[in-house]
Amino acid sequence: MAHHEVLSPLPGTFYRRPSPDAEVFAKEGAIVKVGDVIGLVEVMKQFSEVQADAAGKIVRFLVENEDAVEPGQPLATIETA
């Protein structure tokens, strides 16, 4: 089993939900394909999607909702087949 880390494209605030009351984009354990949205990074009041750049199972998120993130910081681990 190989592991792949999804990295933050930007500095900012990481969100796991599209809005405070909504469901998370992806749960731990979820199967994702390339391009699936797994979170948002807010920088300067603009929201950028974080997409899975590998297919597989999300083993775990490495940052909490609303955590500050740096560019290149690992956000989630995907177990690739």
Partner 1 sequence: MPIRRLLVANRGEIAVRVLRAARELGIQTVAVHSDADRESLAVKMADMVMPIGPPQAAKSYLNVDALMKAALDSGADAVHPGYGFLSENATFAEKVESAGLIFVGPTPEAIRIMGNKSLARETASKAGVPCVPGSDGVVDSVEQAVESATRIGWPIMIKASAGGGGRGIRVAHDADELRSQMTTAQAEAQAAFGDKSVYLERFIRRARHVEVQVLGDGKNAVHCFERECSLQRRRQKILEEAPSPALSADTRSRLCESAVQLARSVGYRGAGTLEYLYDDVSREFFFIEMNTRIQVEHPITEMITGIDLVREMIRIAGGEPLRFKQSDIVMRGAAIECRINAEDPDRNFMPSPGKVHEVILPGGPGVRVDSMLYPGYTVPPWYDSLLAKLVVHAEDRPTAIARMRRALRELHIEGVKTTRGLHLTLMDDPRFQAAEFDTNALEGWLAARAPAASPTTTTSP
Count of chain residues binding partner 1 (CB under 8 A): 19
Instruction: For partner 1, give the closer residue by CB, 28 or 66.
Output: 66
> What is the residue whose two structure tokens read 């999607």?
49
**Closest CB to partner 1 among residues 1, 44:** 44
Q: Please identify which residue in 4, 24, 36, 49 interacts with partner 1, judged by CB under 8 A.
A: 49
72 binds partner 1 (CB under 8 A): no
- Rounded Cα distance, 32 and 50, in Å: 13
Tokens of 19: 């809005």
Binding to partner 1 by CB under 8 A, coded x per residue (else -) over 15-44, reads: ----x-x-------------------x-xx
